[in-house]
Amino acid sequence: MSLLEINNVTKKFSGLIAVNDVSMTVETGQIVGVIGPNGAGKTTLFNCIAGALPPSSGSIVFDGKEIARKKPYEICQLGVTRTFQVVKPFASKTVLYNTMVGAFAQTSHLHEAEEKAIEILKFLDLDHKKHVISKSLTLPERKKLELARALATKPKLLLLDEVMAGLRPGEVTEMLPTIRKINETGVTIVIVEHIMQAIMNLSEKIYVISFGKKIAEGDPQDVVADEEVIKAYLGDEYVATQH
Amino acid sequence: MKKYLNQNPVVLKLTILLLAVLFLLPLVVTSPTLMQIFILVILYAYFTSTWNFVGGFAGVLPLGHAAFVGIGAYTSTVLLQTYGLSPWIGMIVGGILASIVGVIIGIRTLKLRGAYFALATIAIGEGIRVLFENVKEVGPFKINGPSGISIPLSENSFTAFQFDTKAPYYYIILIMLLVVLLLTYFMMNSKIGYYLAAGGEEPEAAEALGIKVSRYKVIAMAISCFLTALGGTFYAQLMLYFYPKSILGLDLSYEIAFIALIGGRGTILGPVLGALLLRPVSELTRIYIGDMLPGLHLVIFGLILIVVMRYYPKGLVVPVKILFNRHIIDRFSKQDPSNGITSTDKAD
């Protein structure tokens, strides 16, 4: 049985169909990428999985349990934690405080939460900033904090929403090994990303969404060679001239 | 920071000294008027500290907390009048009742954000006042509408919660305040405190981390309303007479919020600091110009609030902490601590 099964999920906003009949499977231990041009419906699909938006139809099964239409906190308690594209730190609190909020998902004791949080911060190489107020962090640090907080809940499945968006190329190359390192600890990852190079590098399997529809799936190499995908990203003309 | 404070011997000694001064105060101060002012400062610090559980930590601004003061006062008083029940028992009953009312209100309103929650609490608070002004009796209990209730006088006794001198009232409210401050400290350093702060600041991110934000806010509301109502009973026993406008009015609700905002909401000492500053202002304006311009103290509070928000949006607790660290901790941590204590006593 797959860890995450998305079956025929559709999300409509009155007239607009943002996600149209999309199905996906994610196996335990994988890093799965979801890509697509701007406005393709990636983040909407993501919000449906994380519970921020209820899907209009279809089912989402995580670890054998139906999670479509559950609340975000229930989904997190089941073992699916997300990060936000626009980072949302608890701005007036320190890095450690932020991470401890996540760690309280595992324990009710202050000291245990602190220990677990520090462990995670060390793992992500952020522990030297633990007493810094999070609003004074740089963007890459905030993105890392977002990861730290999510990891502190000890998820089975981590949903990363454009965790590299807004980073400079050098910072992206720093982030890639971090994500791989998280995966190596046994956390399955679904990553929505804009930056092709990054996702090609990380993912074992890629789903491509365009105008709300899944247009391709498979190995990264196969997907980039797919005619539909090239069309979606670069337009019809490009496909025509290639031939 | 907290740990740092706890481990610092200067702070520890200062705290013990301050407590000693507070507990010995009634032996030195004999004027009942002055004692009454001290009692009211502590009472308002108490109300604001209990308000703080919701207003400070849950990230919303309740402006109707007088309703719970009133519920506490009315409950213990009607139980005393009708059944001769000790106000101490009535106090607990009032607390539980306030808590239930608070939870019922909170479940609906705590989902509202920003100004909407504040407006909802004003409306509900005023609704409850109007209700009390228009009801003469509920079953066997006499409420007397707008004319209010006076508490039957009894001899000096702890069970009757009535005393000849001000000192017992002073000790009771002082202990109540200290207990609430301790509770605040423990809450801030617990899972509930972390979850409340997270939910107040970024509800969406908090939910994504597995926090049922609304549930924790309702828990905070229940605690806050219970403790506020205990203060209501104390108020009733202190004044021995109250009416809806005096105890359920917006004046009281606003004053609590003013004290919190000026002192520093969401901190342990902010409410105490705010009450220390604003209560005397309120008493003095009432004594000297209250006849000419009733409600002037609220205007003055407003002006103070504007100035404080302009320079210290997190309240006066911020500059006070900085000054304290710079002038007291830094100076006396290195020197003879006993020397430090005597001079800081003067500074306080």
Sheet holding A188-192, edge to edge: A80-82, A157-161, A188-192, A31-35, A205-210, A213-218
At B2-44, the pLDDT tens digits run 444 455 778 888 889 999 999 999 999 888 989 999 999 999 9
- Comparing C-alpha atoms, which of B290, B313, B315, B314 is closest to residue B300? B290
How far, rounded to the nearest angstrom, does the alpha carbon of residue B24 sit from its chain's CA centroid? 23
Domains of chain A, earliest start first: 4-79+156-242 (3.40.50.300), 90-154 (no CATH)
B173 near B39, Cβ under 8 Å? yes
Beta-sheet pairing, A57-62 with B141-142: unpaired
Q: How far is A9 from chain B (nearest CA, A)?
A: 21
Q: With a CB-CB cutoff of 8 Å, which residues 159-218 of chain B face chain A? A: 189-191, 194-195, 197-198, 201-202, 204-213
Domain residues of chain B, as ranges? 51-248
Chain A interface test: which of B185, B194, B196 (most A C-beta within 10 Å): B194
pTM: 0.88
Strand pairing of A57-62 and A31-35?
A: unpaired
CB contact under 8 A, A113 and B202: no
Beta strands A205-210 and A31-35: pairing type?
A: parallel
Out of B190, B191, B205, the one facing A84 most closely (by C-beta) is: B205
Task: Assess whether pLDDT exceeds 70 at residue B205.
Answer: yes
pLDDT digits (tens, 9 = 90+) for B64-77: 999 999 999 999 99
**Is B211 in Cβ contact with A92 (below 8 Å)?**
no
Q: Which of A161, A116, A118, A121 is nearest to A141 (CA)?
A: A121
Q: Rounded distance, CA A15 to CA B146, Å?
A: 56
CB of B261 closer than 8 Å to CB of B82: no
Chain A residue numbers touching B205 (CB-CB < 8 A)? 84, 88-90, 149
Q: Tell me the chain A residues in contact with residue B197 when contact means C-beta distances shorter than 8 Å.
A: 90, 93, 97, 101
**B141 falls in which pLDDT band (50, 70, 90)?**
confident
Nearest C-alpha of chain B: how many angstroms from A181? 21
* A105 to chain B: closest CA residue: B210
Contacts of A110 in chain B (CB under 8 A): 189-191
Residue B341: the pLDDT is 42
B221 backbone dihedrals φ, ψ, rounded to 5°: -60, -45
ipTM of the complex: 0.90
Q: What's the confidence (pLDDT) of residue A172?
A: 87
pLDDT > 70? residue B338: no
pLDDT in tens, B285-330: 887 876 777 778 888 888 999 999 999 999 999 999 888 888 877 7
**Residue B313 near chain A (CB below 8 Å):** no
Residue B71's alpha-carbon distances to A107, B162, B174, B256, B289, in angstroms, are: 37, 20, 21, 16, 31
Q: Which residue has the higher pLDDT, B166 or B286?
A: B166
B208 contacts on A by Cβ (under 8 Å): 50, 52, 72-73, 76, 81-82, 84, 150
User: Average pLDDT over chain B, rounded to whole?
Assistant: 88
Inter-chain CB proximity B205 and A90 less than 8 Å = yes
CB contact under 8 A, B209 and A97: no
Task: Please give the average pLDDT of every successive group of 10 residues along chain A, which has 243 residues.
Answer: 91 90 94 88 91 94 93 95 92 94 94 95 94 93 94 96 87 90 95 83 90 89 84 70 52
The predicted structure's pLDDT at residue B7 = 59
- The alpha-carbon gap from A132 to the nearest alpha carbon of chain B, in Å, equals 12
The predicted pLDDT at position B308 comes to 92
Mapped onto helix, strand or coil, the DSSP state of residue B42 is: helix
Give the pLDDT score at B125: 94
Interface of B with A in 16-35 (CB under 8 A): none
Are A11 and A19 in contact by the 8 Å Cβ rule? The answer is yes
Query: Tens digit of pLDDT for each residue in B212-265?
Result: 999 999 999 999 999 999 999 999 999 999 999 989 989 899 999 999 999 999
The two most distant CA atoms of chain B are separated, in Å, by: 67
d(CA A67, CA A83) in angstroms, rounded, equals 18
Whole-angstrom distance, CA of residue B25 vs CA of residue A168: 63
**What b/e sequence results for A55-93 when a residue is b if at least 16 CB atoms lie within 10 Å of its CB, and e otherwise?**
beebebbbbeeebbebebbbbbbbbbbbbbbebbbbeeb
